[in-house]
């Protein structure tokens, strides 16, 4: 290959589309086990590569020269082959610095907890020191020297201002894993997770839920790729392209999730949005029917609401791990915090706020089959919809207006535009 990424695993990676968009070359994702990695590095059959976990430090002995920054950080994520000599660089630190600057995160004089001790933790700590952090504490699951164990983090609940996750915990396909409870930190201002798939990890979503500033790692990924391409090709690119591509990819990957009362139009509008943006449409109720192999009203009669909600959560967790979908949820999907958290990891929640007098009853909806039940549901759920929504849409407008309103935020960035 000429250009690509080595690491393991790589199923989560967005790097191919980023490099091919910015660098205008074919970029391969090459997942290597330990033996394959050794053979690959000895063979040197590439022009330039990026390196990700778990090889950012393991590549160093194969290099003929290493940049000052990479040497100080002791981690390499960018390698250029110049006539058989391998030159190592670290563009991650520029990517992480860019993420901090883009999100206006104040580091100076802050006490920072870094989760993890691998190559990325070294990169982030390098940047944080340069930005005059007051103190940096590393947490390790392996009781490494100079680190605290996770069961000792409680001793720092009153101290920490910023948390940075550099571990793969919470990364696709293990989206719902999380190392810590942000609620226990008394003065926590900001959470940074370098993971970019999902767009917002469990850690980030929980922080945002508690009004703590929190960001994922997609901007860092795009920025480090930008600087790696400059090194690969020995060229200068327009820094504005970092923001443009970040915004485009975020919108491409973000699921459009419709929430609201039964009969508010989620399915109809969702289908129209999917057509307009050339996206896959998913109706959670339809997916549940596939799972239970009967209609929902019959299932309710036979097994009850609790069993239905259990199946609903299973389906939501599965669908929420995907990207670029338009998702219509069932009316009660937002009743469980677990569902909302999952939907928010890769999605933006739009509440179709349709007036009660415009909603209709139907026997196919067991909890709103008559006007009295529908009114009770509306009163019980309305505030929950408001609480969960990222954006509130006037559901009393016509279908085309609502479709255009929601799709308008995505149409210029959609993958086929």
List the catalytic residues.
Answer: 56
Measure CA 63 to chain center. Answer: 33
Q: Convert 332-362 into a string of H (helix), E (strand) and C (coil).
A: CHHHCHHHHHHHHHHEEEEEEECCHHHCCCC
Q: Which residues contact 3 (CB under 8 A, 6 or more apart)?
A: 19, 23, 25, 26, 27, 28, 46, 47, 48, 49, 232
DSSP-derived secondary structure for 87-155: EEE--HHHHHHHHHHHTT---TT-EEEEE--SHHHHHHHHHHHHTT-SEEEEEETT--TT-EEGGGGGG
Beta bridge partner(s), residue 88: 66, 79
- Asked whether 175 and 151 are in contact (CB, 8 A), the reply is no
- Asked whether 260 and 353 are in contact (CB, 8 A), the reply is yes
Q: Convert 248-285 into a string of H (helix), E (strand) and C (coil).
A: HHHHHHCEEEEECCCCCCHHHHHHHHHHHHCCEEEEHH
Four-residue CA torsion sign, 188, 190, 196, 201:
positive
Instruction: Establish how many alpha carbons lie within 13 A of residue 25's alpha carbon, considering only the half-sphere containing its beta carbon.
Output: 15
- Asked whether 333 and 314 are in contact (CB, 8 A), the reply is no
CA distance 92 to 147: 22
């Amino acid at each position: 290959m000429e250009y690509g990424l080595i690491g393991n695993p790589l199923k989560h990676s967005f790097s191919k589309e980023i490099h091919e968009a910015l660098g205008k070359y074919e970029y391969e994702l090459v997942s290597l086990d330990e033996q394959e990695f050794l053979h690959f590095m000895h063979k040197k059959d590439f022009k330039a590569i990026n390196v990700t976990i778990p090889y950012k430090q393991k590549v160093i002995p194969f290099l003929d020269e290493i940049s000052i920054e990479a040497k100080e950080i002791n981690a390499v994520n960018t390698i250029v082959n110049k006539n058989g000599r391998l030159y190592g660089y670290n563009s991650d630190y520029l990517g992480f610095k860019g993420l901090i600057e883009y999100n206006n995160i104040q580091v100076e004089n802050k006490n920072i907890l870094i989760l993890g001790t691998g190559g990325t933790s070294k990169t982030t700590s390098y940047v944080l020191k340069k930005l005059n952090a007051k103190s940096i504490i590393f947490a390790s699951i392996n009781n490494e020297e100079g680190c605290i164990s996770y069961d000792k983090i409680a001793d720092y609940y009153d101290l920490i201002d910023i948390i940075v996750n550099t571990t793969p915990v919470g990364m696709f396909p293990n989206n719902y894993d999380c190392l810590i409870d942000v609620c226990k930190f008394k003065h926590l201002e900001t959470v940074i997770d370098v993971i970019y798939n999902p767009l917002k990890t469990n850690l980030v979503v929980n922080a945002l839920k508690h009004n703590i500033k929190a960001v994922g790692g997609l901007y860092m990924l795009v920025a480090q790729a930008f600087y790696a391409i400059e090194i690969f090709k020995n060229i200068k690119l327009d820094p504005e392209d970092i923001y443009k591509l970040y915004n485009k990819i975020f919108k491409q990957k973000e699921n459009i999730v419709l929430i609201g009362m039964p009969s508010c139009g989620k399915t109809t509008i969702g289908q129209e949005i999917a057509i307009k943006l050339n996206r896959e449409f998913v109706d959670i109720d339809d997916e549940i029917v596939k799972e239970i192999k009967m209609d929902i009203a019959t299932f309710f009669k036979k097994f009850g609401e609790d069993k239905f909600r259990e199946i609903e959560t299973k389906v939501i967790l599965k669908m929420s791990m995907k990207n670029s979908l338009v998702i219509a949820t069932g009316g009660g999907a937002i009743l469980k915090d677990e569902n909302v958290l999952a939907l928010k990891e890769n999605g933006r929640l739009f509440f179709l706020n349709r007036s009660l007098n415009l909603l209709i009853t139907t026997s196919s909806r067991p909890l709103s089959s008559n006007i009295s039940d529908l009114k009770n549901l509306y009163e019980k759920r309305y505030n929950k919809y408001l609480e969960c929504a990222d954006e509130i849409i006037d559901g009393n407008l016509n279908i085309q207006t609502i479709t255009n309103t929601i799709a308008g935020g995505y149409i210029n960035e959609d993958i086929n535009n």
